[in-house]
Structure 1
Amino acid sequence: MKTIEAPKREDLVRRASDLVPLLQKNALAGEENRRLPQETVDALTEAGILKMRVPHRYGGYESDMRTVVDTLAEIARGDGSAAWTASVWAISSWMVGLFPDEVQDEIFSTPDVRVSGILSPSAMAAPVPGGVVLNGKWSFNSGVQHSQWNTNAAILIGENGEPQPVMVAIPVSDLTIVDDWHTAGLRGTGSVTTIAEDLFVPQERVLPMVPVLQGRHRSVLNAGSPLYSAPFMPTACGTICAPALGLARAAKEAFLERLPGRKITYTAYENQAEAPLTHLQVAEATVKIDEAEFHAHRAAQMVDAKGAAGEEWTLEERARVRLDLGAVTQRAKEAVDLLNTASGGSSIYSSVPIQRIERDVQTINLHAILHPNTNLELYGRIVCGQEPNTVYL
């Protein structure tokens, strides 16, 4: 175990910015192979991106949420799939910090370990002496082919017959991987399906989810860290909104890069940059990107501030983070849609980044946790005095 001085926010963001050319170069290969190129994974690792949510005692940075958001958004400027996968690794590494300390010792004993994970409890856990036996599958398991561990959710039927969600820590080598990631967007994330068949998991690697969702965990050594004072959902939501923000910024950069010398075919405009329509499109997209940034930073600020103060979360505050999450993804997609529409027929070639950015941000908007309509309704229910229709708050 070793403790190192964590880099400042601007240093991590600069490291991420330095990676953008490499990420852009490798993005098409990631799409074609339906997983991140090893060069991309190695670059993220060497830059320390994967240490952001690892405890100090294992050489991690314990970065605050604002740092995580800004760093991951920079990664998304280069490649949405790389940013999404890094987001999943960040959330799952943080989740490991909620397990008993001996489990953390086991997992983080691997240098630069990568942990992926699934929140949806799509497997069953049967209690047996000393632990549980898992059977089931988890789809959308982003980055698992590059990971050593999984933190996956399952349903445990307790002694009283009542089902309860649990999180289990599993070596990826214990799972069967099904290569089924054939998708329209985020193709480079390698979000394949994994299967557990009669898999024994020792009791110390089984974590009840309800206390975790409420901000309680089983780590003694992390008890005093503000990083682990926040409930799971605000932490996860604050993290996973960053790729959408970065993709919106990437779309603006990609559009402006191709703009000089382009004309608007079948019109008198020999230079698209001279058209008032273009001016309006770029300005409106910029406003939407700024709005997405506002919501991403507001969510991050709330997670950081309440964690540092050790304050309890109200139901409305939890729902507001979900609201911010939905707003980031919605505004980002609106900005990308505008710029993609203005990019012309030549933009459909796979070598032109805007079409991949469009597909990636559309895919993010369809994710069950990020879906804007779902998050808007949830917040509206609560401020209108109704009970939430989910435990994922």
Structure 2
Amino acid sequence: MNTTETRPSRAELLRRASDLVPLLRKHAQWGDEHRRLHDETIEAMADAGIMKMRSPARYGGYESDMRTVVDVIAELGRGDGAAAWTAAVWAISTWMMGLFPDEVQDEVFATEDVRVTGILSPTAMAVPTDGGVVVNGKWAFNSGAPQATWNTNAAVLAHPDGSHEPVMIAVPLKDLKIVDDWYTTGLRGSASVTTVAEDLFVPQERVLSLVPVLQGQHESQVNARSPIYGAAFMPTACATISAPVAGLAKAANDAFFERLPGRKITYTSYESQQEAPLTHLQVAEASVKTDEAVFHVGRTADLLDEKSSRGEQWSLQERARMRLDLGAACQRAKEAVDTLNMASGGSSIYRDVPIQRIARDVQTINLHAILHPNTNYELYGRILCGLEPNTDYI
């Protein structure tokens, strides 16, 4: 374990992420075609310290604040949406490992730059047995699982008295069956496959009751003193996975302007698309919506850091607004990408033109259940109207 490196500043981590953008772009099409991240992409992210941002400091991690995390992940999204998404999921799951008992963390973080992925939906069943639980079931959309080492997955624990309880389990990937079913239109490089547990024994120390976790309680004694591990669970998870869309909106802008010089608008008198008033309106609109996406991602991240440093609780309206920010960031980023995609012409449909992949990736993120704009807007509207939330994931 490397505990000698000084924790890099936000500016330094952001510079490292920016330096990765050309490499991520180089391998993005490869990842799209092979449905996983290129090994060189993963190695480069590890070398840049991306895997350490949410690892405990005693294992050589940085315990980076949330604003640093979202800014870095958004910058990765400028290079490759799938790489940014996978890095975001690994960041959340690595942070979640910090909620488990310290002896579990000793096992997990014995591997430097360990990659942890996970699923919050309890789509497996667990039954008590001597010393732990036996788990059967599967988890779909398990991003980066084929290239990860550990899984933090949710399950439903069936108690002998007939009651049920959601739990979080920590499982080595080698103990799970991987189903290669990630044949999708977007985020293809994220390898978000299905993992399966078959009569899998999980020791009791690697089983957490999920409700206390969602309420900000956890089993780690050492990490209890760290601000990032005292942060609210759902705002932390949501802020992290909202970051890739901000990067994708910027990526669309980069991709559009790279192809703009010398292009004309076919079947019009414009020999230069760059001189058309329509283009001016399109790029300005996309710029504004990109800025709005960045704002919504940043507002939640800043509030998280502020509340974590002060040890303050979240109000229900603040939690609902966090989900609003999540949906708004996704919607505005998609609108920005769609505008530039429509302005890119017929030749942009070829696979080697980045804008078509960017559009598919941002569309896919907008369809995620916890990110879906309409779902999140409705939730916030319910709270504004004095109603109870229609979800526990807040």
TM-score (norm 1): 0.99
Q: Distance in 1 between matches of 2:385 and 2:126?
A: 37
Aligned to 1:242: 243
Matched residue, 2:351: 350
Q: Residue 223 of structure 1: SS of its match in structure 2?
A: helix
Cα deviation code 1:58-96 (max 9, x no counterpart): 000000000001100110100000000000100000000
Offset of 1:160 from its aligned partner?
Answer: 3.3
Partner of 2:203: 202
Q: Residue 154 of structure 1: CA displacement? A: 0.5
Residue 311 (structure 2) aligns with? 310
**DSSP 3-state at the match of 1:156:** strand
Q: How many residues align?
A: 393
Kindly provide the amino acid, as one letter, of the partner of residue 170 in structure 1.
Answer: V
Structure 1 residue ranges, 4+ long, deviating more than 3 angstroms after superposition: none
* Equivalent residues of 1:278, 1:342 under 8 A apart: yes
Match of 1:335 in 2: 336
**Aligned residue for 1:96?**
97
Is contact 1:229–1:307 with CA below 8 Å preserved after alignment?
yes
Aligned to 2:17: 16
Contact 1:4/1:56 (<8 A) preserved? no
Checking the alignment, whether the CA contact within 8 Å between 1:134 and 1:197 is kept in structure 2 is yes
CA RMSD of aligned residues (A): 0.8
Residue identity matched to 2:322: V
1:221-300 matches, within 5 Å, as 221-300=222-301
Q: Does 1:363 align with 2:364?
A: yes
Q: Residue 380 of structure 2 aligns to which amino acid in structure 1? A: Y
Query: SS state of the match for residue 194, structure 1?
Result: strand
The answer as to 2:29 corresponding to 1:32 is no
- TM-superposed CA distance for 1:25, in Å, is 0.4
Q: What secondary structure, in the 3-state scheme, does the structure 2 residue paired with 1:234 have?
A: helix
2:391 is matched with: 390
Q: Report the AA paired with residue 313 of structure 2.
A: E
Superposed displacement of residue 251, structure 1: 0.1
**1:385 partner letter:** G
- Deviation at residue 161 of structure 1 after TM alignment: 2.0
CA distance in 2, matches of 1:102, 1:369: 31
Give structure 1 stretches of 5+ with no counterpart.
Answer: none
Segments of 5+ residues of structure 2 without an aligned counterpart are none
What is the alpha-carbon distance in structure 2 between the residues aligned to residue 373 and residue 70 of structure 1? 25
Q: Which residue identity is paired with 2:250?
A: R
Aligned to 2:140: 139
**C-alpha separation between the residues in 1 aligned to 2:209 and 2:279?**
53
Does the 8 A contact of 1:3 with 1:60 survive in 2?
Answer: no
Give deviations 1:179-200, integer Å, cap 9, x for gaps: 0100000000001111000000
Which whole-Å CA distance do the structure 2 matches of 1:149 and 1:107 have between them?
8
Shift of residue 159, structure 1, vs aligned partner: 3.7
Letter in 1 for 2:275: E
Question: Percent sequence identity over matched residues?
Answer: 71
Amino acid of the structure 2 residue aligned with 1:197? E
- 1:196–1:291 Cα change, 3 Å: same
1:135 is displaced (CA, Å) by 0.3
Looking at structure 1, the residues matched to 267 and 137 of structure 2 have their Cα atoms a distance apart, in angstroms, of: 56
Q: Indicate whether 1:319 and 2:291 are aligned.
A: no
2:156 corresponds to 1:150? no
- Contact kept, 8 Å, 1:3 with 1:56, in 2: the verdict is no
How far the C-alpha of 1:111 sits from its partner, in A, is 1.3
| Worse-superposed segment, 122-131 or 362-371 | 122-131
SS in 2 for 1:241: helix
Measured in 1, the distance between the counterparts of 2:306 and 2:192 equals 33
User: Conserved in 2, the CA contact under 8 Å of 1:133 and 1:201?
Assistant: yes
AA at the equivalent of 1:327? A
Task: Provide Cα deviations, 1:269-295, integer angstroms capped at 9, x if missing partner.
Answer: 000011100000000000000111111
CA distance, structure 1, for counterparts of residue 385 and residue 55 of structure 2:
38
